Structure 1
Protein backbone atom coordinates (compact mmCIF):
# COMPACT_ATOMS: atom_id res chain seq x y z
CA UNK A 1 0.00 0.00 0.00
CA UNK A 2 2.79 2.44 0.87
CA UNK A 3 4.34 1.86 -2.55
CA UNK A 4 1.05 2.18 -4.46
CA UNK A 5 -0.07 5.40 -2.76
CA UNK A 6 2.77 7.63 -4.06
CA UNK A 7 2.30 6.15 -7.53
CA UNK A 8 -1.43 6.92 -7.53
CA UNK A 9 -0.83 10.42 -6.22
CA UNK A 10 1.64 11.05 -9.06
CA UNK A 11 -0.84 9.78 -11.65
CA UNK A 12 -3.59 12.06 -10.32
CA UNK A 13 -1.30 15.07 -10.53
CA UNK A 14 -0.04 14.17 -14.02
CA UNK A 15 -3.24 15.55 -15.58
CA UNK A 16 -3.71 18.65 -13.49
CA UNK A 17 -2.02 21.99 -13.82
CA UNK A 18 -0.98 23.75 -17.00
CA UNK A 19 -0.81 22.08 -20.40
CA UNK A 20 1.34 22.63 -23.45
CA UNK A 21 -0.90 25.46 -24.71
CA UNK A 22 -1.09 27.18 -21.31
CA UNK A 23 -4.53 25.80 -20.46
CA UNK A 24 -5.92 23.59 -17.72
CA UNK A 25 -5.80 19.80 -18.08
CA UNK A 26 -8.41 17.15 -17.26
CA UNK A 27 -8.95 13.46 -17.91
CA UNK A 28 -11.82 12.68 -20.30
CA UNK A 29 -12.29 8.93 -20.64
CA UNK A 30 -9.32 7.55 -22.58
CA UNK A 31 -8.18 11.08 -23.44
CA UNK A 32 -6.63 14.05 -21.73
CA UNK A 33 -8.02 17.43 -22.71
CA UNK A 34 -6.62 20.93 -22.37
CA UNK A 35 -9.03 23.86 -22.05
CA UNK A 36 -8.06 27.41 -23.01
CA UNK A 37 -10.53 30.30 -22.83
CA UNK A 38 -9.83 33.80 -24.14
CA UNK A 39 -12.59 36.38 -24.03
CA UNK A 40 -15.45 34.51 -25.77
CA UNK A 41 -13.24 31.91 -27.50
CA UNK A 42 -13.02 28.31 -26.24
CA UNK A 43 -10.27 25.99 -27.46
CA UNK A 44 -9.81 22.35 -26.49
CA UNK A 45 -6.86 20.16 -27.44
CA UNK A 46 -7.24 16.38 -27.21
CA UNK A 47 -4.34 14.11 -26.22
CA UNK A 48 -4.06 10.32 -25.99
CA UNK A 49 -3.06 8.37 -22.85
CA UNK A 50 0.62 9.02 -23.64
CA UNK A 51 -0.19 12.76 -23.92
CA UNK A 52 0.45 12.84 -27.67
CA UNK A 53 -1.83 15.19 -29.68
CA UNK A 54 -4.88 13.58 -31.28
CA UNK A 55 -6.29 14.97 -34.53
CA UNK A 56 -9.68 16.62 -33.91
CA UNK A 57 -11.03 15.25 -37.23
CA UNK A 58 -14.26 13.41 -36.52
CA UNK A 59 -14.57 14.78 -32.98
CA UNK A 60 -17.31 17.07 -31.74
CA UNK A 61 -17.92 18.55 -28.35
CA UNK A 62 -19.70 20.90 -26.02
CA UNK A 63 -18.27 23.06 -23.27
CA UNK A 64 -20.68 23.89 -20.45
CA UNK A 65 -19.00 26.64 -18.48
CA UNK A 66 -20.32 28.72 -15.59
CA UNK A 67 -20.30 32.45 -16.30
CA UNK A 68 -21.80 34.86 -13.76
CA UNK A 69 -23.46 31.94 -11.98
CA UNK A 70 -25.20 30.75 -15.17
CA UNK A 71 -24.23 27.92 -17.53
CA UNK A 72 -23.00 28.85 -21.01
CA UNK A 73 -23.15 26.08 -23.65
CA UNK A 74 -20.53 26.36 -26.36
CA UNK A 75 -20.59 23.99 -29.33
CA UNK A 76 -17.08 22.80 -30.26
CA UNK A 77 -16.02 21.77 -33.75
CA UNK A 78 -12.67 20.78 -35.30
CA UNK A 79 -10.49 23.79 -36.16
CA UNK A 80 -6.91 23.04 -37.21
CA UNK A 81 -5.33 20.98 -34.39
CA UNK A 82 -8.08 21.54 -31.80
CA UNK A 83 -11.79 21.80 -31.11
CA UNK A 84 -13.02 25.39 -30.93
CA UNK A 85 -16.15 27.42 -30.38
CA UNK A 86 -17.36 30.84 -29.33
CA UNK A 87 -19.58 31.81 -26.40
CA UNK A 88 -22.19 34.55 -26.44
CA UNK A 89 -20.48 36.27 -23.48
CA UNK A 90 -16.90 36.75 -22.23
CA UNK A 91 -15.80 33.72 -20.22
CA UNK A 92 -12.75 34.87 -18.32
CA UNK A 93 -9.57 32.82 -18.12
CA UNK A 94 -10.57 30.02 -15.72
CA UNK A 95 -14.30 29.31 -15.85
CA UNK A 96 -15.55 26.22 -14.04
CA UNK A 97 -17.49 23.59 -15.92
CA UNK A 98 -17.39 20.48 -18.07
CA UNK A 99 -16.17 19.73 -21.57
CA UNK A 100 -17.93 16.83 -23.27
CA UNK A 101 -16.33 15.26 -26.35
CA UNK A 102 -17.49 12.57 -28.74
CA UNK A 103 -14.83 10.75 -30.73
CA UNK A 104 -15.03 9.52 -34.33
CA UNK A 105 -16.08 6.10 -32.98
CA UNK A 106 -19.13 7.65 -31.25
CA UNK A 107 -17.75 7.13 -27.72
CA UNK A 108 -18.44 10.06 -25.41
CA UNK A 109 -16.26 11.32 -22.56
CA UNK A 110 -16.13 14.39 -20.37
CA UNK A 111 -13.57 16.32 -18.36
CA UNK A 112 -14.35 18.52 -15.37
CA UNK A 113 -12.66 21.86 -14.73
CA UNK A 114 -12.88 23.42 -11.26
Structure 2
Protein backbone atom coordinates (compact mmCIF):
# COMPACT_ATOMS: atom_id res chain seq x y z
CA UNK A 1 0.00 0.00 0.00
CA UNK A 2 1.37 3.36 -1.05
CA UNK A 3 0.92 6.37 1.23
CA UNK A 4 0.21 9.80 -0.26
CA UNK A 5 3.11 12.20 -0.41
CA UNK A 6 3.15 15.37 1.67
CA UNK A 7 2.58 17.44 -1.49
CA UNK A 8 -0.48 15.38 -2.46
CA UNK A 9 -1.85 15.69 1.08
CA UNK A 10 -1.34 19.48 1.06
CA UNK A 11 -2.97 19.80 -2.36
CA UNK A 12 -6.00 17.78 -1.25
CA UNK A 13 -6.29 19.81 1.96
CA UNK A 14 -6.09 23.09 0.04
CA UNK A 15 -8.74 21.90 -2.41
CA UNK A 16 -11.10 20.86 0.40
CA UNK A 17 -10.61 24.20 2.20
CA UNK A 18 -11.28 26.08 -1.05
CA UNK A 19 -14.57 24.24 -1.61
CA UNK A 20 -15.63 24.90 1.97
CA UNK A 21 -14.79 28.62 1.76
CA UNK A 22 -16.59 28.97 -1.57
CA UNK A 23 -19.70 27.34 -0.12
CA UNK A 24 -19.67 29.61 2.92
CA UNK A 25 -19.23 32.74 0.81
CA UNK A 26 -22.02 31.71 -1.54
CA UNK A 27 -24.38 31.03 1.36
CA UNK A 28 -23.69 34.37 3.01
CA UNK A 29 -24.01 36.30 -0.27
CA UNK A 30 -27.78 35.73 -0.25
CA UNK A 31 -28.41 36.76 3.34
CA UNK A 32 -30.19 40.09 3.77
CA UNK A 33 -28.07 42.94 5.04
CA UNK A 34 -29.30 46.04 6.86
CA UNK A 35 -30.42 48.77 4.45
CA UNK A 36 -30.07 52.53 4.88
CA UNK A 37 -33.72 52.79 6.01
CA UNK A 38 -33.43 50.06 8.65
CA UNK A 39 -34.97 47.31 6.52
CA UNK A 40 -33.60 44.10 5.05
CA UNK A 41 -31.65 44.74 1.82
CA UNK A 42 -31.18 42.05 -0.85
CA UNK A 43 -30.39 41.73 -4.55
CA UNK A 44 -33.27 41.44 -7.01
CA UNK A 45 -31.99 40.03 -10.26
CA UNK A 46 -28.89 41.57 -11.81
CA UNK A 47 -30.08 45.18 -11.83
CA UNK A 48 -31.72 46.05 -8.53
CA UNK A 49 -31.42 46.08 -4.77
CA UNK A 50 -34.64 45.92 -2.77
CA UNK A 51 -34.98 47.08 0.82
CA UNK A 52 -38.00 45.68 2.68
CA UNK A 53 -39.08 47.90 5.57
CA UNK A 54 -41.56 46.31 7.99
CA UNK A 55 -42.46 47.95 11.29
CA UNK A 56 -45.04 45.53 12.69
CA UNK A 57 -48.11 47.16 11.11
CA UNK A 58 -50.06 46.30 7.98
CA UNK A 59 -48.00 48.77 5.90
CA UNK A 60 -45.06 47.37 3.96
CA UNK A 61 -42.55 49.65 2.24
CA UNK A 62 -40.14 48.57 -0.49
CA UNK A 63 -37.32 50.89 -1.56
CA UNK A 64 -35.63 50.35 -4.92
CA UNK A 65 -32.02 51.06 -5.80
CA UNK A 66 -29.65 50.00 -8.55
CA UNK A 67 -26.63 47.76 -8.05
CA UNK A 68 -24.60 50.86 -7.13
CA UNK A 69 -27.13 51.72 -4.38
CA UNK A 70 -28.46 54.76 -6.27
CA UNK A 71 -32.24 55.30 -5.89
CA UNK A 72 -34.40 54.00 -8.76
CA UNK A 73 -37.69 55.87 -9.36
CA UNK A 74 -40.61 53.56 -8.60
CA UNK A 75 -42.89 55.12 -11.25
CA UNK A 76 -43.96 52.45 -13.74
CA UNK A 77 -42.98 49.50 -11.53
CA UNK A 78 -45.46 46.80 -10.59
CA UNK A 79 -44.81 44.73 -7.50
CA UNK A 80 -46.34 42.03 -5.33
CA UNK A 81 -45.39 40.96 -1.83
CA UNK A 82 -45.60 37.29 -0.92
CA UNK A 83 -44.90 37.01 2.80
CA UNK A 84 -45.24 34.16 5.30
CA UNK A 85 -47.17 35.31 8.39
CA UNK A 86 -47.99 32.78 11.13
CA UNK A 87 -47.30 29.93 8.71
CA UNK A 88 -49.70 31.26 6.06
CA UNK A 89 -48.91 32.92 2.74
CA UNK A 90 -50.05 36.53 2.54
CA UNK A 91 -50.13 38.17 -0.91
CA UNK A 92 -50.80 41.81 -1.72
CA UNK A 93 -49.88 44.46 -4.27
CA UNK A 94 -47.36 47.25 -3.78
CA UNK A 95 -47.96 50.57 -5.52
CA UNK A 96 -45.39 53.20 -6.54
CA UNK A 97 -45.43 56.34 -4.40
CA UNK A 98 -42.87 59.11 -4.07
CA UNK A 99 -39.25 58.65 -5.07
CA UNK A 100 -38.04 55.07 -5.09
CA UNK A 101 -40.71 53.69 -2.75
CA UNK A 102 -43.47 51.16 -3.32
CA UNK A 103 -46.04 50.77 -0.55
CA UNK A 104 -48.70 48.16 0.15
CA UNK A 105 -51.28 47.36 2.82
CA UNK A 106 -51.33 43.76 3.99
CA UNK A 107 -54.57 42.13 5.16
CA UNK A 108 -52.86 41.45 8.53
CA UNK A 109 -50.09 43.05 10.60
CA UNK A 110 -46.69 41.94 9.33
CA UNK A 111 -44.13 41.25 12.08
CA UNK A 112 -40.57 42.47 11.64
CA UNK A 113 -38.26 39.75 10.37
CA UNK A 114 -40.98 38.16 8.22
CA UNK A 115 -39.72 35.90 5.41
CA UNK A 116 -40.99 35.92 1.85
CA UNK A 117 -40.42 37.52 -1.53
CA UNK A 118 -41.09 40.67 -3.52
CA UNK A 119 -41.85 40.19 -7.22
CA UNK A 120 -40.98 43.19 -9.40
CA UNK A 121 -41.86 44.10 -12.96
CA UNK A 122 -39.87 47.08 -14.26
CA UNK A 123 -41.36 49.63 -16.66
CA UNK A 124 -39.53 47.90 -19.56
CA UNK A 125 -41.19 44.56 -18.69
CA UNK A 126 -38.18 42.85 -17.13
CA UNK A 127 -38.91 40.91 -13.97
CA UNK A 128 -36.92 40.30 -10.81
CA UNK A 129 -37.50 38.71 -7.45
CA UNK A 130 -36.10 39.64 -4.05
CA UNK A 131 -36.11 36.86 -1.45
CA UNK A 132 -36.07 37.62 2.26
Give the TM-score normalised by the residue count of structure 1: 0.86
How far 1:12 sits from its partner (Å)?
2.6
User: SS at 1:22's partner residue?
Assistant: coil
Pairwise CA RMSD = 2.2
The higher relative CO (CA closer than 8 Å, separation ≥ 6) is in 1
How far 1:49 sits from its partner (Å)?
1.1
Match of 1:34 in 2: 51
Match of 2:29 in 1: 12
How far 1:46 sits from its partner (Å)?
0.6
2:76 to 48, 58, 64: 58
Question: Structure 2: which 5+ runs fail to align?
Answer: 1-17
- For residues 16 and 84 of structure 1, the distance between their equivalents in structure 2, rounded to whole angstroms, comes to 20
TM superposition outliers: structure 1 runs of 4+ over 3 Å: none
Q: Give the structure with the higher percent strand.
A: 1
Q: Give the structure with the higher percent helix.
A: 2
User: SS at 2:29's partner residue?
Assistant: helix
User: SS at 1:104's partner residue?
Assistant: coil
User: SS at 1:53's partner residue?
Assistant: coil
Deviations 1:30-65 (A, max 9, x none): 100000112101100011011101000110100100
- For residues 67 and 38 of structure 2, the distance between their equivalents in structure 1, rounded to whole angstroms, comes to 19
Match of 1:107 in 2: 126
Q: Computing the radius of gyration over CA atoms, which structure comes out larger, 1 or 2? A: 2
In the alignment of these two chains, the number of paired residues is: 109
Give the TM-score normalised by the residue count of structure 2: 0.75
